[in-house]
Amino acid sequence: MEKITGSDFASPETMHDFMAFYKRLAGQQEPLYRLDDFFGMGGAWLAFRHEDVVAILKDPRFVKDVRKLAPPQDQGEPGQKYASVSKFRQWFKEMPNMLTVDPPDHTRLRRLASKAFTPHTIEGLRPRIQQIADELLDAVQERGRMDLITDFAYPLPITVISEMLGIPVADRDQFREWTRKLLNASLDPKQEDTVSEVLDKFVEYIKTLLAEKRAHPGNDITSGLVQAHDEGDQLSENELLSTIWLLIVAGHETTVNLIGNGILALLKHPEQMRLLRSDPSLLPSAVEELLRYAGPVMIASRFASEDIPMHGNEIRKGEIVLVSLAGANVDPHKFSHPEVLDITREENEHLAFGKGIHLCLGAPLARLEGQVAFGTLLQRLPHLRLAVEPEQLTYNRSTLRSLTSLPVLF
Ligand code: HEM
């Protein structure tokens, strides 16, 4: 069987038909698959069975901190070829946030941000999220067509997270450009300079934001974190900057794609769309199923902090271990008929938000945004349909499942 390479994970074929890719992967019959290189990270192990992915994400021997990574020569890293990835890694060494560190730093940084993301606090945002969704559709209703990504899926979550962080409305469009550039540049070896440039601009922006919050504190997450730094000495200036950066980026890009991928999946399964439109009480289980079937985050990564035997292999200290969340979500040992989109699925232990201590902090927010977005689109646009053939749609070159646009008519 044809060998799988790192670039297969971000190829257009994989994005259009992940199930076909998964079948190729599972057909290799090696539950721990060895990749020669993964976008310049060097050689890497890949787990894709649900059981293995859960075990790895819950095992404290698999860590996040890049400072514990083996030197590039031991990974077989191909020199400067994939400098963009190295650039990111370097940046996170100096700019740690909860997603790039291990306990006890992880526990400290996550606790500082977590109050704002409890299910109870998030549920209180429902009326405002509904209002934003309605305003976005008011703006396009007369036109009868839109790019669902630009006109709806992007502005909804970026507006919500910006309000939570106390970021001025006028600055929000800037984030899309920066995040898109990072998304597309991070896997492209020639775009090392773009990665540096955009990260610098982001940092400059956040520094200005922090200065404003110091002068005029508000009732927002940024002001709270500034206070924890200035008065409580609970996090460093770089940790503060990187945490705000993480909340901006993680707080919108993934949800944009849940909405985009989710609507596309429903449009391709009209009977499921009809069912959801006729019974909005199915929205919570529909969101879970769309996360399983078309979740945006396809891969997560860890490093081995010691030599670890697994499935007859020896994962050496400092080596990279990738887990395919998208693969685990279609594992036939875990899900019956995983290739079927079933919005009434009851047993749905998908891993779209990860597992273990790094389980997505924003999951309650993403779920709520998904429910409001799908519910509003289906109720207000009864004739929603694709404006192009599904094969014409394109994806960003990224390990996120991320449509470049989604033209629809209604
Ligand atoms: C559909 C939307 C989303 C998906 C699929 C998603 C997925 C994920 C995944 C898979 C992880 C774990 C990565 C790993 O273990 O390496 C994660 C972590 C995280 N996510 Fe999300 N996310 C979404 C929305 C959000 C939102 C709206 C926020 C809000 C700020 C957010 C904030 C975070 C943060 C802060 C972490 C790091 C948690 C930690 O390290 O303890 N995410 N997300």
Q: What is the CATH number of the domain that holds 174?
A: 1.10.630.10
Residue 227 CB contacts under 8 Å (≥ 6 apart), including other chains:
217
Give the model confidence (pLDDT) of 32-82 as tens digits. 999 988 887 788 999 999 999 999 999 999 999 877 765 554 444 444 445
> Up-side HSE of residue 97: CA atoms within 13 Å toward CB?
19
Does residue 1 sit within a domain? no
Give the model confidence (pLDDT) of 271-328 as tens digits. 999 999 999 999 999 999 999 999 999 999 999 999 999 999 999 998 999 999 999 9
Does residue 147 sit within a domain? yes
Does residue 208 sit within a domain? yes
Q: Where does ligand 1 bind, in terms of residues with CB under 6 Å?
A: 98-99, 110, 161, 246-247, 250-251, 254-255, 258, 295-297, 300, 325, 352-354, 358, 360-362, 365-366
Give the model confidence (pLDDT) of 160-207 as tens digits. 999 999 999 888 888 888 988 888 887 776 777 888 888 999 999 999
Are 73 and 114 in contact by the 8 Å Cβ rule? The answer is no
Does residue 331 sit within a domain? yes
Alpha-carbon distance of 402 to 380, in angstroms, equals 24
Residue type, 211: A
Are 234 and 113 in contact by the 8 Å Cβ rule? The answer is no
CA angle, 164 then 262 then 24, to 5°: 120
Bridge-based pairing of strands 299-304 and 407-409 is unpaired
Residue 54 CB contacts under 8 Å (≥ 6 apart), including other chains:
328, 351, 355
Give the model confidence (pLDDT) of 96-105 as tens digits. 999 999 999 9
Give the model confidence (pLDDT) of 124-146 as tens digits. 999 999 999 999 999 999 999 99
Give the residue numbers spanning the domain of 61.
6-409
Are 228 and 112 in contact by the 8 Å Cβ rule? The answer is yes
Per-residue pLDDT at 73: 47
Query: How many folded domains does the chain comprise?
Result: 1
Residue 46 phi/psi, 5° resolution?
Answer: -130, 125
User: Closest Cα to atom 3, ligand 1: which residue?
Assistant: 254
Does residue 308 sit within a domain? yes
User: Closest Cα to atom 43, ligand 1: which residue?
Assistant: 360
Residue 125 CB contacts under 8 Å (≥ 6 apart), including other chains:
160, 164, 365, 368
